Amino acid sequence: MKKYETYKDSGIEWIGEIPSHWEMKRIRHVANIFGRIGYRGYTVSDLVYDGNGAITISPSNMKDFGMDFTECTYLSWEKYEESPEIKIFESDILFVKTGSTYGKSAIVRKLSKEATINPQIVVLKDISCNNIFLWYSIKSPFVQLQVEETVVGGTIPTISQSKINNYSFPVPPPEEQTAIAHYLDRKTAEIDELIADKKRLLELYEEEKIAIINQAVTKGINPDVPMKDSGIEWLGEIPEHWETVSLKWVSKIYSGGTPSKNNGDFWQNGTIPWLNSGTVNQFFITEPSEYITEDALNNSSAKWIPENSVVIALAGQGKTKGMAAQVMFECTCNQSMGIIVPNEIVDNRFLLYYLASNYQNIRNLGGGDKRDGINLEMVGGIPLPILPLPEQSEIINHIENYFEHIIAKKVKTEKLIDLLTEYRTALISEVVTGKVKVTE
């Protein structure tokens, strides 16, 4: 890519040189910032829940090239009309000033409904330069460095509007701003499409993994073995020499417990590992969530879990319910987890893979995606194939050998995503600081 003919010092270390005919400006020179502070505030009573109001944009609604209103809150029309300066329109730029996603920004490309902002966000209006160029500048590393230098507060990070107003960035003539905006729109769209393709590939690898597990734990790995109908919808046909039983007949099943959070002594300087239900997302659990004391164990419903046991989430947010994992150390857990200790005819790892392959079936026992939980009786009723231990070991080895290939492909794909993301960031920075020339 070409460079400009002559450069000058920008006066800012992390920007370096800029083209000689560019200027350094602050955001206050090119835009006005408005936020929901003081009289523009609102309370819960101002929100409406029937959709009959203005969308109240939160940071989670902000996407690079538009808004995602899959989940949103609404503000009453009366409250919306009280603050016309923070009504949101196309080409406005949104910036998160408060909360964990501080520094996040988005430009409003399209808007199909009246909208305003919540108190975490400010909006840049009356923009005198190219809106898209300004937005790319805000996203660039040199502005984000200024963001990091001006954020205050530990528990709730916050940036004042006066600090945002003072962020510096290079500004070329209007025709170059437009050329840069068009160029970056085109190039970042190409990069984002490549990243999306790679992310879809990661999803396919996960589907492939589950398919391999399901085939192995329900059909075996010998394609020539005679089959029979299991009589169970989950399983369909199984090898002729396999049998099926309810899980409760070949394992001990119980739940954990949580020592009182009101008693600080139960949770301070503890030595007994304790798990919350979110740990099942690890598949193989190698670290505890917290530690409890001996006194906590003896004075609560918490129970020991033997090493290598399988645990299953009986409840939990999002996808957690129905997920299974293997604990790699002796520990305890909360009451939202079921503990399964199989007897000598079932390999713990085979059981883990079987439960993982039937995640959706198990989840459906507790109402699928509804909030209903799974109870221990439901877990005990799960139909389980019974087959010789040597064959279970062969199936486990088959699955884990295949995993190695999938993991290698996933690592390579994740590295490509990281490289593409880094390239995207670097490209924006190089272009909006004039290190490369794209006007032609």
How large is the average pLDDT for residues 295-300?
93
CA–CA gap between residue 132 and residue 76 (Å, rounded): 31
Asked if the model's pLDDT at residue 285 lies above 80, the reply is yes
Residue with tokens 């193989």: 284
The predicted structure's pLDDT at residue 324? 95
- Amino acid found at 27: I
The predicted structure's pLDDT at residue 45? 87
The predicted structure's pLDDT at residue 155? 86
Asked if the model's pLDDT at residue 209 lies above 70, the reply is yes
Element (H, E) at 429: helix 389-432
How large is the average pLDDT for residues 283-304?
93
Per residue in 106-142, pLDDT (tens digit) is 999 888 889 999 999 999 999 999 999 999 999 999 9
Per residue in 335-368, pLDDT (tens digit) is 999 999 999 999 999 999 999 999 999 988 877 6
**Among candidates 335, 331, 326, 337, which has minimal Cα distance to 379?**
337
Q: What is the pTM of this model?
A: 0.79
- Amino acid found at 357: S
The predicted structure's pLDDT at residue 366? 78
CA–CA gap between residue 164 and residue 59 (Å, rounded): 17
Q: Is 178 exposed, middle or buried (0-12, 13-18, 19+ CB in 10 A)?
A: middle
**Among candidates 433, 432, 429, which has minimal Cα distance to 7?**
433
How large is the average pLDDT for residues 162-183?
96
Q: What percent of the chain has pLDDT over 70?
A: 98
Are 212 and 407 in contact, with CB atoms under 8 Å apart? no
SS3 60: helix
Q: Edge-to-edge, what's the strand order for the sheet holding 47-48?
A: 47-48, 73-75, 54-57, 115-117
User: Which is it for strands 284-285 and 324-327: parallel, antiparallel or unpaired?
Assistant: parallel
The predicted structure's pLDDT at residue 368? 64
- Amino acid found at 321: K
Asked if the model's pLDDT at residue 1 lies above 90, the reply is no
In angstroms, the Cα distances linking 339 to 260, 313, 360 are 20, 9, 19
CA–CA gap between residue 269 and residue 298 (Å, rounded): 16
CA–CA gap between residue 213 and residue 152 (Å, rounded): 49
CA–CA gap between residue 87 and residue 110 (Å, rounded): 14
- Amino acid found at 248: K
The predicted structure's pLDDT at residue 373? 82
CA–CA gap between residue 40 and residue 231 (Å, rounded): 64
The predicted structure's pLDDT at residue 406? 94
The predicted structure's pLDDT at residue 146? 95
Asked if the model's pLDDT at residue 282 lies above 90, the reply is no
CA–CA gap between residue 399 and residue 26 (Å, rounded): 58
In angstroms, the Cα distances linking 336 to 155, 161, 275, 383 are 28, 44, 10, 22
CA–CA gap between residue 135 and residue 115 (Å, rounded): 19
Asked if the model's pLDDT at residue 429 lies above 80, the reply is yes
The predicted structure's pLDDT at residue 328? 96
Residue 16: both structure tokens together: 């370096």
How large is the average pLDDT for residues 153-163?
91
CA–CA gap between residue 373 and residue 367 (Å, rounded): 7
**Average pLDDT of the chain to the nearest whole number:** 93
Per residue in 212-258, pLDDT (tens digit) is 999 999 999 999 999 999 999 888 999 999 999 999 999 999 999 99
Are 117 and 72 in contact, with CB atoms under 8 Å apart? no
